Chains A and B, each alone.
Chain A
Amino acid sequence: MNNEALYQERFNRIQKAIRLEPVDRIPAVYMGVAFAPRYMGMSIAEFCTNHEATVTMNLAAMDKLGGLDGINLAGAGRITAILTAMWLSRLGVPGRDLPPDSLWQVREAEVMTIDDYDFIIKNGWQAFLGSYMPRVIDMAEFGEAMGWLMANAPRCVNTYRERGYVPVCGAATSPPYEYFCGGRSMQKFIFDLHRIPDKVQAAMDAIMPDIIGQAIGVARASGSAGVWVGGWRSASALISPKLWDRFAWPYFVKIVNALVEAGLTPVLHWDQDWTRDLGHLRELPAKKCILNPDGMTNMRKFKEAAGDRMAMMGDVPAAMFAAGTPEDVYNYVRDLVRLFGSTGLILCPGCDAPINTKPENMEAFVAASREYGKAA
């Protein structure tokens, strides 16, 4: 079978899983941004400075592992510049600020100020980013990284397809909560939610059209049907229902509905524990979205709450990849398959297989996906 036929077979398998239709074999997709270079022998410092490395390392790791249907988020370009833009935070970069073969890290600091909310309300998101980004990254570096990304991202995403793999997501975004929480620092942002809630909400409302428009634009340019909608600090385990109901969930709903209306598939990439609020997933369009948790959200409760309306892509925990055994991984995949059966499941590392994933654990993930996925 040539790569295009292979891609079509895998694409149809994943689309069936999203529509909660039975599949011939449960799809298994890759996610391990920092694991890939470590697995393939490239230093993380080199990985962070090489525009093409995200694609080449992911593909090399996927080829070596074999048997995968696709990749969760088809990364491209310099990871540290992209993360800076998503977190509005300074990053520690391996080889420059950190040891060459260590992991990049977000530096938690209050960079965005309370006055910035007023600026955003008055001038909009794009004007704010123009004035803000120099506070967190060298603009020559950022401009080069983003310029390369804009020129090459569609080609990069298509490279996965040419190799027979499905890029489930070709674009990424997150609700305003995550941007502001990153820029303000978590502690200061929580203070803001208590002390100046109306101002925060006004700023959130002000940036929504830009966030949605950009996500749709990038997704369409990439040629991928999916958009990764990230949530980590807006998780149910971290904030009270009162805050979540006002500052987190309504924005997820607006983004998801806009993406679905645009013919795209929102992938709710939810780190941390969201169990408390899983019932809200019933408010989203049925069989059009994917929940992508990291192993901390209760999957049994997800099945009860929204398993008849939404597929799940995940959720083998990062800690298991790093500190567990192949048997642990094997059993985890087996239990997922037993829970979901042949509908609504796409096997995937939860969040992202970490840099110190034991290779034998990743190989066990793939082997278990093949064995149990076929038997479902």
Chain B
Amino acid sequence: MSDQLAMAMADLEETTVLNLVRQRLEAGDNPMAILASCREGMTQVGKRFEACEYFISELIMAAEIFKQATALLSSRIKTDVMGGRGKVVVGTVKGDIHDIGKDIVVSLLKAANYDVRDLGVDAPPQKVVEAVKETGATVVGLSGLLTVAFDSMKETVAALSAAGLRSKVKVMIGGGSVSETVQQYAGADAWGTDAQAAVSLCNRWIKEVAK
């Protein structure tokens, strides 16, 4: 890693991260460079998660530290330079009000420089369709803890098809007991066991679109 801030971010040293951000701002450092250091640290967090050195507990803590760091930077960075990697619509599907997994996905996608439209919980299919139309998102992430969410996921994918959007978006699902069986049942493109998988899927799909 290139600097102390990135290392502190990767090591989840909350106080050190926030102090370093403040110090670099006071020293006149470019806020975008500071943000880049934080993102580098978050990338390392993702790698440690994939290597089973970190777990969900560390992803939650990392997302919190990153959120606080970017809050310190927000007044000095133009919002239109955030989220330049791609647009993603994320929500917990209709009939399910669980948001822990969905919120971690949103945080990690934002940290990875994605522009995320968060639809909250209990999001009906039409709300997802409208969000895709409005944002032009190329990825949709559907979350659900309960098994009753499987039908809502299926209905949401069907609604995207009915709106003529299915070929324009990739749909990933996750949460609770989601599995390959559920992916097939819902007609999604992929499923993930954890929030980091959502970032990996987006990275892969965005690269495919760029080719």
- A interface, CB within 8 angstroms of B: 92, 102-103, 105-108, 186-187, 190-191, 193-195, 236-240, 243, 276, 294-296, 317-324, 328, 354-356
With A190-B57, A240-B54 already in contact, the answer to whether A319 and B150 are too (CB < 8 A) is: yes
Q: CA–CA, A195 to B57, complex, Å?
A: 13
With A186-B100, A190-B60, A191-B64 already in contact, the answer to whether A238 and B150 are too (CB < 8 A) is: no
Asked if B77 lies at the interface with its beta carbon under 8 angstroms from chain A, I say: no
Q: Which of A92, A187, A193, A324 contacts B64 (CB 8 A)?
A: A187
Q: Is the CB of A323 within 8 A of B57?
A: no
Collect the chain B residues with CB atoms within 8 Å of residue A319's CB. Answer: 147, 150, 177-179, 181-182
The 8 A CB mask of B34-69 against A (1 = contact, 0 = none) is 000000000000000000101111101100100000
* Shortest CB distance A262–B (Å): 32
Asked if B118 lies at the interface with its beta carbon under 8 angstroms from chain A, I say: no
Q: CA–CA, A186 to B38, complex, Å?
A: 24
Collect the chain A residues with CB atoms within 8 Å of residue B99's CB. Answer: 108
Q: Which of B54, B60, B96, B177 contacts A295 (CB 8 A)?
A: B177
With A194-B14, A238-B57 already in contact, the answer to whether A322 and B96 are too (CB < 8 A) is: no
Quick one: closest A residue to B57, CB to CB?
A239
Asked if B155 lies at the interface with its beta carbon under 8 angstroms from chain A, I say: no
Q: CA–CA, A109 to B24, complex, Å?
A: 35
Among B115-157, those with CB < 8 Å from A are: 146-148, 150-151
Q: Is the CB of B61 within 8 A of A356?
A: no
Collect the chain B residues with CB atoms within 8 Å of residue A237's CB. Answer: 55-56, 194
Q: CA–CA, A108 to B175, complex, Å?
A: 15
Q: CA–CA, A267 to B58, complex, Å?
A: 29
Q: CA–CA, A194 to B178, complex, Å?
A: 29
Q: CA–CA, A240 to B59, complex, Å?
A: 10
Q: Is the CB of B56 within 8 A of A238?
A: yes
With A102-B95, A107-B97 already in contact, the answer to whether A239 and B56 are too (CB < 8 A) is: yes
* Shortest CB distance B174–A (Å): 12
Q: Which of B14, B97, B182 contacts A323 (CB 8 A)?
A: B182
The number of inter-chain residue pairs (CB within 8 angstroms) is 83
Collect the chain B residues with CB atoms within 8 Å of residue A238's CB. Answer: 55-57
Asked if B98 lies at the interface with its beta carbon under 8 angstroms from chain A, I say: yes
Q: CA–CA, A145 to B172, complex, Å?
A: 41
Q: Is the CB of A240 within 8 A of B181?
A: no
| 21 residue pairs from A and B, CB less than 8 Å apart | A102-B95, A105-B96, A105-B97, A105-B146, A107-B97, A108-B98, A187-B100, A191-B60, A194-B61, A195-B14, A236-B55, A240-B57, A294-B177, A319-B178, A323-B150, A323-B181, A323-B182, A323-B185, A356-B147, A356-B150, A356-B151
Q: CA–CA, A294 to B145, complex, Å?
A: 14
Q: Is the CB of B55 within 8 A of A320?
A: no
The 8 A CB mask of B58-96 against A (1 = contact, 0 = none) is 101100100000000000000000000000000000011
Q: Is the CB of A191 within 8 A of B61?
A: yes
The size of the chain B interface, using a CB distance under 8 A, is 30
* Shortest CB distance B162–A (Å): 22
Q: CA–CA, A195 to B13, complex, Å?
A: 10
Collect the chain B residues with CB atoms within 8 Å of residue A194's CB. Answer: 12, 14, 61
* Shortest CB distance B187–A (Å): 12
Among B156-209, those with CB < 8 Å from A are: 177-179, 181-182, 185, 194
* Shortest CB distance A183–B (Å): 14
With A105-B97, A356-B147, A356-B148 already in contact, the answer to whether A190 and B179 are too (CB < 8 A) is: no
Apart from A190-B57, A321-B147, A355-B147, what 18 extra A-B contacts exist at CB < 8 Å?
Answer: A92-B97, A105-B146, A108-B98, A187-B100, A190-B60, A190-B61, A191-B60, A194-B14, A195-B14, A237-B194, A239-B56, A240-B54, A295-B177, A319-B147, A322-B148, A323-B147, A324-B181, A356-B147
Quick one: closest A residue to B97, CB to CB?
A105
With A319-B177, A319-B179, A323-B147 already in contact, the answer to whether A108 and B61 are too (CB < 8 A) is: no
Query: What 7 A-B pairs come out closest when comparing CB atoms?
Result: A322-B147, A354-B147, A319-B177, A239-B57, A238-B56, A323-B185, A190-B60
Quick one: closest A residue to B186, CB to CB?
A323
* Shortest CB distance A376–B (Å): 26
With A194-B12, A317-B177 already in contact, the answer to whether A243 and B150 are too (CB < 8 A) is: no
Give the residue among A318, A323, A355 with the most B Cβ atoms within 10 A.
A323
Collect the chain A residues with CB atoms within 8 Å of residue B182's CB. Answer: 319, 323
Q: CA–CA, A276 to B100, complex, Å?
A: 22
* Shortest CB distance B18–A (Å): 13
Q: CA–CA, A134 to B211, complex, Å?
A: 57
Q: CA–CA, A194 to B146, complex, Å?
A: 29
Q: CA–CA, A243 to B54, complex, Å?
A: 11
Quick one: closest B residue to A320, CB to CB?
B181
The 8 A CB mask of B91-116 against A (1 = contact, 0 = none) is 00001111110010000000000000
Q: CA–CA, A319 to B54, complex, Å?
A: 27
Collect the chain B residues with CB atoms within 8 Å of residue A320's CB. Answer: 181
Q: CA–CA, A354 to B98, complex, Å?
A: 16
Q: Is the CB of A355 within 8 A of B148?
A: yes
* Shortest CB distance B26–A (Å): 25
* Shortest CB distance A100–B (Å): 13
Q: CA–CA, A174 to B22, complex, Å?
A: 42
Q: CA–CA, A322 to B181, complex, Å?
A: 10
